[in-house]
Amino acid sequence: MSVSVCMATYNGAKYIREQLDSILRQSRRPDEVILCDDCSCDETPYIIQEFIKENSLQNKWKLYQNQENKGYPENFYYAMSLCACDIVFLADQDDIWHCEKIARMCKVLDENAQVVVVSCKLSLINAEGEEIHSIMAPTHKSLKKKRGSLRQVRIDDIFYKYEWPGMAMAYRRKWYQNQRGDSSTIPHDILISSKAAEEGGLYQMDEVLACHRRHGSNVGGEEHRLGRLLRRDRKLREIEDYLQMLREFDQNKVLQTETGKEALEKKLSSLRGRYDALQSGRLGQVLGNAGRHWRETRLKTLVCDLIIVLRSIERGKKDETQR
């Protein structure tokens, strides 16, 4: 199988060389690397060009520079449309791949025809490259399972706890070409993973093959610091953004099966209730919503919401005392 790696870049000068180097050092090198820069204001395009030149990669690595800013989702869909190989690996500009990532994931796709999208597991690192141990960290490798063993991911799993960012995924290009058009504003990774899960073709390897970097400039606004995760205004904004994305799923009819539609509706209902409960500032409402939607509610999420409300109540009491 031939392999494409595609990356959408924007103002990634600080970390991109380390990521490019981790792709170059793969034991199974890609047949092409497609990079699309979205009008960066820093040295990102220059660093990419110099890296390609220094390593004599002109025949296989291509940099495309947009004439106008497309925005994160559209730029990634554009990069994906330029890929020509059998398997497409998605890459972010600030992560680090283990040297066996392409080889190990291609082996899964080669040996399992039912797999249309495969995801590895990942670890978290901070801006300095140090490992992060966070309450919201992804599930790590299970030592009880055989290295690289597969787990089928269902559509309910996608909406319960999202652990499949694009940088951990590879998909069959022929399968992707048969999906709906790529002009959606829905982020590429959740669109691909949800479609594949709905069809029964998304599988996760029980193997950590990449380091996902979290820092102050992550496009998705990801956070691992507990103090910031537990800010009420931040959490409400996150939920608003998630609700908007789910509405786009519904409006664009992304999910086609009854199982997929039902999972989407349950998540929408659960998330609306969660938003209202946090806004109310009432512990009873938070617990009541979690009880009504217990299948869609993670214990960690409930605990965080309860802490947020308790802190809000405590601040209210302090303000009242100061008056």
CB 161 within 8 A of CB 123: no
Question: Which runs of consecutive H residues, i.e. helices, occur in the chain?
Answer: 16-24, 44-54, 72-81, 101-111, 155-160, 173-177, 188-198, 226-229, 232-251, 258-280, 283-292, 299-322
Pick the residue with more confidence: 162 or 153? 153
pLDDT of 318 reads 75
pLDDT of 41-99, one tens digit each? 999 999 999 999 999 999 999 999 999 999 999 999 999 999 999 999 999 999 999 99
CB 141 within 8 A of CB 168: no
Residue 129 has pLDDT above 90, yes or no: no
pLDDT of 314 reads 87
pLDDT of 110 reads 97
CB 165 within 8 A of CB 121: no
Lowest mean pLDDT among 149-158, 161-170, 311-320: 311-320
Total residues belonging to the chain: 323
CB 155 within 8 A of CB 258: no
pLDDT of 205-253, one tens digit each? 999 999 999 876 545 444 445 556 788 999 999 999 999 999 999 998 9
Question: What average pLDDT does the segment 291-310 reach?
Answer: 93
Output the pTM of the full model.
Answer: 0.89
